[in-house]
Chains A and B, each alone.
Chain A
C-alpha cells in the first residue's frame, strides 16, 4: 500500500477563487492510500516545495498528488521536489484543477466537486505508480556520415571541429558529389570548385575524419548511441596507401573509350582513372568493367608505369565493421531520367541536354574546356532554348515525372541563361517557364537581372514538342501571355530535369528503419520542429535526401544536423524517458502487431526459453522493446491483442483506475 500525500494549491485566488481548496484537501484525506492532505497558497514556491519535502519525511510518503495547475506547467518542478526529498520523481501525479477546473467553471460547488474527482483520479493512479528509472545507454563517440557531397562534407567538418571522430562513406571514388560537377553557383556566381575543393581538402586533412570512398553501407544494427555498421570498401585495384595520384598510369592506359560519368558521358576517360583533378582522395581507381587486365588478363600497362607499385589486380572487396553513436544520411539527389519525355527529343538529338550536362559544358574543366559548343557538331549555338519544369510538378503519371517542385531549377536556369548571355552576347536565349519561383535571399533580384540586364527572353508557357531537323531543333512552345504558339529553330535545348532522391536511399532507409515518403525522400521527425532528425532516434538528415534544396539551404541543414549529432555525442550516457513500452514476455504471442505500428522501429523479436510443465522448456518468439529507441506513444499497447504490451507511467491499470475514479 502506498503512503500518499495530497497537496492542494490555491494558486493565490486562481484556484481558491472558484474551488474550495480546504474542502478538496479534506475530501481527499479519506481516499485509499492517502495519509496526509493539506493545502497551501503557492505550492510551486520554495516554501510550498519545502512543505512537500517535509511532509515526505515526516509521513514517510511513497507517493505525491499535487492538485494545482497543468502538469505541462509544473510537473517537472514537483518531480524535482520529490527527488530532493528522496522520492522517485515518477511517484508524483498532478491533478489539473486550474486550467481544467477553476478557470473554466464559474460556480464554486461545481468547481470544488470536479476538483475532488480529479484529485481522486490522481490518487487512484498514484496508488498504482511504481518508481521508474530512466534507462541509460552508453554513447559511442563517433559519427557516420553517409554520402560525401556538400551536405556530408559540411556535416562531417562541423562534427569533427567539435572534436568527435567522423567517418564519411561515399560510393564514388571521390567525395564532392553533385556540387563538384557544377560550374558557377547562384546567386553570387562564384565558381563551385573554388568554394568546394578547399572544403574537400579540409576533410582530407582533418585528423578526426576518415573517408571511405568507393564504399557502401551494407548493414546497420543497433540503436541510438550504439549503431554497428558494416561498410563494404569496394576493390579499386589500387593500393590507396601507396598511390600518389601522379596520373602516369592514366596517361598510359590503352583503354580510352570509357564513357566519363563525371562529364555525364559527354567525353571519355581511361579504364584507370581519377574522376577529376581535385578529387579527394586523389587516388586512381580501375574500372573493372573496362580494364583489359581484369577482364581477360591481357594488358598490365599501368603496373609497369606505376613508380609507387600501387596497382593490385588481386585486390578484393573489404568489409569494415565500426561502431557509431549517430548516423547522418546525406545521400543527395539525381536528375530524373529523360527517357519518358521524348517529346523533347532527348534521345533523338545530342543537342538536347539536361541542365547538369549544361553545367559540364560550360565548365572550364569540362569536355569542351568551358567553351559552349554543341555536342553534335562542336559549333557555337546561336539560339538556345531552356525548358523549365521537365518532370517536376507532374501529377499525371507517376512513372514519368514527380508531383513536387524541384525548387532549384528556376534559379539555375536563370544562372545558365545569364552566363550564356554574358559570355556570348550574340546568343539568343529563351526560357520557357510555368512560374518563376525565387524565394531566397537575392534570388528574385538575380532572376530579374537575367531579364533586365542580360536580355534573356522569358516566355510564360511550356514547350510541347521538339523536332530535330537538319542541324536545327524545331521548338514548339506556347506563350500564354501573348496567346501564341511560338516556333523557334534552336541550336541547343536545355531541359531542367526534375531531381529525385538517389537510388541508394531506399535500401539504406530500410537498413536504418528510417521512414520515407512516397517520393523516397526521408521524412523528418517533425516537419517544422525537428527538420534534421529522422523519426528513428540517432539518425539525422542532411541535404537533398530530405527534399529538394539549394546549396545554402543544404549547408545550413548540414550544420544543423551536425549540431544535433554533437549534442548527442557529447553525452556520456543517454538518459531515456522511462515512460516507455515493455512487453510481458510470458503473455506475448510474438505476432508482430506491435512492431507494425511502432513509428520508431523500437521493437524486435527474439526466441526465448520458458519453463514448461514436467521440466520441459518451451521456446517462443517474443517482442523486445528497446527502451533507448521507444518514445512512449503507446500505439503498440493497443495493437497488442493479448495485452502483453504496456506503457510505463500510463499503464492499462493506471488509466483504468483513473476512469473508475472519475466514473464512480
Chain B
C-alpha cells in the first residue's frame, strides 16, 4: 500500500532515527511511504487563534497534496501530527476558516478536510493491525518492561485527535505487547514534558520531565518509548537514567531491521 508521508523538520535533523526506522519498518510491513514533495515545516505547534490563517497554510498544503494523490497522510512526529490533524479538523468544521484558506490558495479545487490523517501508530493499529505486527516480529522483546510515554500532543484535544482514550490510552501499550515486551502503565504517561518551554525556561521543563521519569520508574519501567523528538530531548536532558527511545526504533529492533551501528 502507498501512503503520503510528512516527516517534518526535526526528522530530517535531530531525529533522523525516528525517520529512518519509520522507513525501515514500513518496508517490512509492505507500506510505501511517499514523501510529500517540497513539504514545509508545520510550525511545530498549532495556533488556537481562530483568526490565524497563514500559520496553518503549510499544513493545508501537505493535506491537499495527499488529497490530490488520493492517499492518507501519515506523520510520525507527535508535533507534526497534532498540528496537521488540528488544521484538518478546522478545515472540516469551520466553514468560515476553510473559505478564507481556499480563497487565499486560489486554486481551482477547494480543500475541505477530506484527507485521512494517521499517525504512524494509528496506521499500525487501524490499517495494518497489531496482529500482523506480531507476525513480523523476529526478535521478541521478551522480558523488557517498557513504559509508553504519550505526552500531550498525540492525545489532546481528544475531540480532534481521536487517537485513543485521552486519560487511559492503550495504543502504545498494545504495540509493546505485540512486540513481546511488557507494557508498564503509569499515570503520568499523558502529562506534558514541558515541550517548547525548554528553550526559555529549562527549569520548568526539568520539573515536568522529572515527574514523568519518576512515575514511570516507580511503576517498574526499565525503558521509555515515545513518538516525539521534543519529549525524548526533555526526558533525556533532564536526567532520565533509563533509556528513552523512539517507538520506531523498538519496532525496528523487534523486526530485526535495526543495525548495531545505527544512530547518531
Contact = CB atoms under 8 A, between A and B. Distances in A.
- Bind each other: yes
Contacts of A315: none
Contacts of B139: none
A466 interface: yes
A340 B167 contact: yes
A469 interface: yes
Contacts of B167: 340-343
Nearest to B159: A397
A468 interface: yes
Interface string A202-231: 000000000000000000000000000000
A465 B187 contact: yes
Interface in A333-368: 339-343, 345, 347-348
B218 interface: yes
A339 B164 CA distance: 13
Contact of B168 (A339, A465, A468, A474): A339
B168 A347 contact: yes
Interface residues of B, number: 14
Interface string A457-474: 000000001111110001
A345 B214 CA distance: 17
B185 interface: yes
Contacts of A340: 165, 167
B25 to A, nearest CB: 29
A462 B202 CA distance: 29
Interface in B213-258: 214-215, 218-219
B219 A469 contact: yes
B114 interface: no
Name, among B167, B186, B211, B218, the residue most crowded by chain A CB atoms within 10 Å (CB to CB): B167
A467 B187 contact: yes
Counting contact residues on chain A (CB < 8 A from B), the size range is 10 to 19
Contacts of A468: 186-187, 219
Contacts of A342: 165, 167-168
Contacts of B165: 339-340, 342
A469 B191 contact: no
Given A340-B165, A342-B165, A342-B167, A469 B185 contact: no
Given A345-B187, A348-B187, A469 B214 contact: yes
A339 B166 CA distance: 11
B188 interface: yes
B168 A469 contact: no
Interface string A122-161: 0000000000000000000000000000000000000000
B168 A467 contact: no
Interface in B176-199: 185-188, 191
Name, among B186, B187, B211, B218, the residue most crowded by chain A CB atoms within 10 Å (CB to CB): B187
Given A341-B167, A342-B165, A467 B185 contact: no
A474 B219 CA distance: 13
Contacts, number: 35
Contacts of A341: 167
Nearest to A473: B187
Interface string A312-341: 000000000000000000000000000111
Contact of B218 (A343, A465, A466, A470): A470
A497 to B, nearest CB: 15
B260 to A, nearest CB: 36
Contacts of B215: 467, 469
B2 to A, nearest CB: 35
A467 B186 CA distance: 8
Contacts of B188: 467
A465 B185 CA distance: 15
B171 to A, nearest CB: 14
A466 B187 contact: yes
Contacts of A348: 168, 185-187
Interface string B7-28: 0000000000000000000000
Interface in A172-213: none
A466 B191 CA distance: 11
Contacts of B219: 468-469
B8 to A, nearest CB: 29
Name, among A342, A348, A467, A468, the residue most crowded by chain B CB atoms within 10 Å (CB to CB): A467
A465 B191 contact: yes
Contacts of B185: 348
B184 to A, nearest CB: 11
A347 B165 CA distance: 12
Nearest to B214: A469
Nearest to A468: B187
Nearest to A396: B159
Contacts of A466: 187
Contacts of B211: 467
A16 to B, nearest CB: 67
Contacts of B168: 339, 342, 347-348
A350 to B, nearest CB: 13
Contacts of A397: 159
Interface of A: 339-343, 345, 347-348, 397, 465-470, 474
18 contacts: A339-B165, A339-B168, A340-B165, A341-B167, A342-B167, A343-B167, A347-B168, A348-B168, A348-B186, A465-B191, A467-B187, A467-B215, A468-B186, A468-B219, A469-B186, A469-B214, A469-B215, A470-B218
Interface of B: 159, 165, 167-168, 185-188, 191, 211, 214-215, 218-219
List the 4 closest A-B pairs by CB distance, nearest first.
A342-B168, A342-B167, A467-B187, A469-B218
Given A341-B167, A470-B218, 18 more contacts: A339-B165, A342-B165, A342-B168, A343-B167, A345-B187, A347-B168, A348-B168, A397-B159, A465-B187, A465-B191, A466-B187, A467-B211, A467-B215, A469-B214, A469-B215, A469-B218, A469-B219, A474-B187
